[in-house]
Structure 1
């Protein structure tokens, strides 16, 4: 006999659709609606950005020159790694004083945003629903295209700043029309179009790469959660529950590599794009 809870239990499709819905300021009317704000993504992005800055500040404040603790040693290894990558890409020492801390901040921030995917799928949405009474909550900001594209647009603005700073406004404008096919007036429209395509392609691919990987990872965690939700006392149900535990453990361990790698790739592309802004054609 079917119980009342089973009658009202959502289907697999309804479960996934519910978990992919953002807490928004208004209902989205179309595919592209810039008046809609994903409040959950914005909240966790700002919160984890503040947490990342606090962790770095804490490591700097408690740094000692004697025998560092494990936390200080881990931060020092991270800083040395980022600084070595910055030295290999950005050869201007003056610019590197700003670019290396930027790259470190990007890595820590993206890593913390990605790490939200390690929490149980239903944990924070359940807490949110039973405390604040809000119907939706997505906790992985980098699985939201608006966040990843916002981060990539921020990198684009940094690149434009260094283009003007290193080459001068006139030198950069001249480069827009003279590269990559040569300083001939009849090639100016082609060169300018190619430069615009390059900036757009780099920005879109930068944000889409991070979004695609984290969105796929979030979906896999939801599918694994459905395995656990389908178990019963029957033989098939127990097998599904055991498969849920096994798949969840394996994917979580593997996902640690993914969230770290995606943060590293985003940081490296940031360094590469800023380094390209220092190059003269």
Structure 2
């Protein structure tokens, strides 16, 4: 794909364009056949590939962990059970060290975030041309297989965390208590307008930073893989393999950061200042 039929800019643009379904101003409801068509569909268009891969990986996570849980044994665990238990204990230790309240939600939420985000990030290790080529043979024009390179996906997860922050802040402290935290700190009550502005900006910055940190790191990593794919074949292997090995650290670290920050924000929502 990188040679002969398309230019470098066309190749890069193709790999960065989602399979978008929406209402085109001229052609009506359809799947976009070009980056321009996708952009013209506007805000209410849906990125089909992002939804396909993110939901699919989420279902795989639920199926795999559910299957291991149903077949778990109290004796000597097999390698698969041992692997899953290691992940659960790792997440549980992090939750216990950060979140010092009783909640039936936080630990399962943290586990879901860590594994799900990791699986979505791990799609970045699939060679950039393989799945888009298979999709192209089936008549599908675009196929981005890394959901976390789509800011809509990372933004959606971050907004869900933000909704939980607000929910638990009000549940633990009441509307009045939550308002007092925003209005009467860090400066005295006379500076309430400034306090509100400062605290609301800080509150909104939480989901924005969550979304953009994950998106930015994964988008940059995917871009490097795409640029490597434009090089001659023998150079690709010299560069892509070391970058893929290093990228394993990145995809794991980004999943861990998203999980830890979620726990921290929810712990702050439970704290009473």
Do the structures match in fold with TM over 0.5?
yes
1:225 — aligned with what? Answer: 229
Shift of the alpha carbon at 1:8? 5.1
2:160 — aligned with what? Answer: 154
2:201 maps to 1:194:
no
1:235 — aligned with what? Answer: none
Write the distance in 2 (CA, Å) between the matches of 1:83 and 1:98. 12
Write the distance in 2 (CA, Å) between the matches of 1:134 and 1:44. 15
Instruction: Give yes or no for contact 2:2–2:230 (8 Å, CA) kept in 1.
Output: no
Write the distance in 2 (CA, Å) between the matches of 1:19 and 1:242. 21
TM-score in terms of structure 2 length: 0.90
Q: 1:76-123 CA distances to partner (integer Å, 9 max, x unpaired)?
A: 11111111111111111x22x310110000001000100111111111
2:83 maps to 1:77:
no
1:211 — aligned with what? Answer: 215
Q: What 5-or-longer segments of structure 2 have no aligned partner?
A: 23-36
**3-state SS in 1 of match to 2:200:** helix
Map 1:19-58 to 2 at 5 A. 19-26=15-22, 27-29=37-39, 33-58=42-67
Pick one of 9, 12, 20 that aligns with 2:8.
12
RMSD: 1.8
Shift of the alpha carbon at 1:170? 2.3
Shift of the alpha carbon at 1:58? 1.4
Write the distance in 1 (CA, Å) between the matches of 2:69 and 2:221. 33
2:173 maps to 1:181:
no
2:249 — aligned with what? Answer: 257
TM-score in terms of structure 1 length: 0.87
Write the distance in 2 (CA, Å) between the matches of 1:258 and 1:8. 33
Larger Rg belongs to: 1
Pick one of 119, 126, 129 that aligns with 1:119.
126
Write the distance in 1 (CA, Å) between the matches of 2:192 and 2:149. 39
1:234 — aligned with what? Answer: none
Q: Residues 188 and 135 of structure 1: is their aligned pair in 2 closer, same or farther, counting only changes over 3 Å? A: same
Write the distance in 2 (CA, Å) between the matches of 1:6 and 1:189. 56
Q: 1:229-274 CA distances to partner (integer Å, 9 max, x unpaired)?
A: x4xxxxxxxxxx3221121111111111111111011101111111
Shift of the alpha carbon at 1:174? 2.3
Aligned residues: 259
Map 1:96-107 to 2 at 5 A. 97-107=104-114
